[in-house]
Amino acid sequence: MTSTRPLTLLDQLHELTEEQVGAARSLDGARLQKLTERRADLLFALRVALQDPPPTDPGQRSALAEAARRLALVERRLATVAGAVVDTLDAVLPARPAPTYGRCGRIHGS
């Protein structure tokens, strides 16, 4: 595996995460699910790629560090947007009581 593979994967993850932010903002659940599945594949590929020794070239190391920082920033944006979506849905959707067991052992409230 070449030393540019992790950088390529980090760049792909960055682009995909940007798409996830857009899907979350537009409440496109189906698209978000597909992107999340692709993300899992890319993260696995990155884990495999990172098992190789890190690059010795300072420029490559710097590029990897910068790509990781950029990915971390967009991941924080995704977490913020996802949190806002959950808060909005909690405010809009009616609360459902938690299911409980009745005296006869049947579940009520579901």
Q: What is the mean pLDDT of the chain?
A: 88
Mean pLDDT, range 75-104, rounded to an integer:
82
What was the pLDDT predicted at 51?
Answer: 92
d(CA 42, CA 70): 16
What was the pLDDT predicted at 102?
Answer: 67
Mean pLDDT, range 53-77, rounded to an integer:
94
pTM of the model: 0.77
DSSP letters along 64-92, please?
HHHHHHHHHHHHHHHHHHHHHHHHHHHHH
**Centroid of chain to Cα 18:** 10
CATH architecture of 5-93: Up-down Bundle (1.20)
Dmax over CA atoms of the chain, in Å, equals 70
d(CA 89, CA 85): 6
